[in-house]
Structure 1
């Protein structure tokens, strides 16, 4: 199973676990408001004053809670799996706090699932890649060295699924004629592309650099509340 709670996120959640249970419940309510309409800076500022801490600490704890809700929904965790994960990542959590978090997640799972599906309805997602190298047979008539060509076929899909829970629906095998009312728009798309080795190497370097930047704290803080 993929890691549900990252070390930095666990540190932020421990701040909530050190508070009374009523505070944890209030933060669960703020997390739902965060998903529906974004961060409420006024309420976070008030909470920071009441808890004698900084605005950044409150916001970090809230975003960690939102990430926990989203990731638990995407992974479709059972109650036993959730309890095992939080007990391993948050050693100080007690039974009552675990129950509060689990009730929070299960009560809003449908809402979060709908929000995630709606947010990616029109986006294309990578599903598969086919590729081949084409070259020329050596010939004395060619005055310059022939450059091989790499041809690629990208299989994309607009269907938003959880890789841990759902599988892409196979193409239906149905020979019955479709009417305008029953005909469904296709979700899959194929994109053909070709390039030379030098450009392919450049693209690989750009993607590797992007992966390195994705591991920086600045990027993690940006994508943490809505990560996938």
Structure 2
């Protein structure tokens, strides 16, 4: 799978072809640090003074490197695909090798950082259910009204919470059919291909 770079990204990364490869290596280190701790404009200004370029140019270069590292790590691009992806930038062979080395050295760290940024969602812990049926009443002598009450226990980290849901059997049956259809879809070849690329 190749990484797709927009014209804007290519323009921002084009600045890296004009600087020393050691500077690009330092920009890569800064990009990983910014992923961990956030952006710091003072670093852009200091690097811009040393290179005699506008701070915005340095910022775009570092952000372009961050984009390449995060997207490549997220998609777990192979070495060959990474090299093919950066070929469109028109960099020298030495700079392409440096970018590949930067990607290989930092991909696990970047994936760890990105997984830490993902929202923590509650997940299933337990389910209790009860079926209530009103057999008859003075008002409705012939009508039976069943209700299903579900108590869904969720877990998020160390915290647990419970949600109470109530529905009729027809709606519950429809929900079950939709969930079974979704599970069947996950087993399809198309979904497997997508999930393989996400991981």
Classify the TM-score, shorter chain.
Answer: 0.5 to 0.7
Matched, 1:122 2:120: yes
Give the 3 Å change call, closer, same or farther, for CA 11–81 of structure 1 in structure 2: same
Which has the larger Rg?
2
Displacement over 6 Å in runs of 4+: 151-155
1:79 alignment counterpart: 79
Matched positions, count: 134
Offset at 1:4?
Answer: 2.9
Matched, 1:164 2:197: yes
For residues 131-158 of structure 1, give each alpha carbon's deviation from its aligned partner in whole angstroms, at most 9, with x where no partner exists: xxxxxxxxxxxxxxxxxxxx99797xxx
Offset at 1:165?
Answer: 4.3
Distance in 1 between residues matched to 2:69 and 2:101, nearest whole Å: 11
Matched, 1:59 2:92: no
Gaps of 5+ in 2: 123-173, 183-193
Q: Contact (CA 8 Å) 2:32, 2:110: kept in 1 or not? A: no
Gaps of 5+ in 1: 125-150, 156-160, 167-228
Matched, 1:48 2:81: no
Greater share of strand: 2
For residues 47-67 of structure 1, give each alpha carbon's deviation from its aligned partner in whole angstroms, at most 9, with x where no partner exists: 111111111111111111101
* Structure of higher RCO (CA pairs closer than 8 Å, 6+ residues apart): 1
Backbone CA RMSD of aligned residues: 2.5
Q: Contact (CA 8 Å) 1:75, 1:164: kept in 2 or not? A: yes
Greater share of helix: 2
1:99 alignment counterpart: 97
TM-score, L = length of structure 1: 0.53
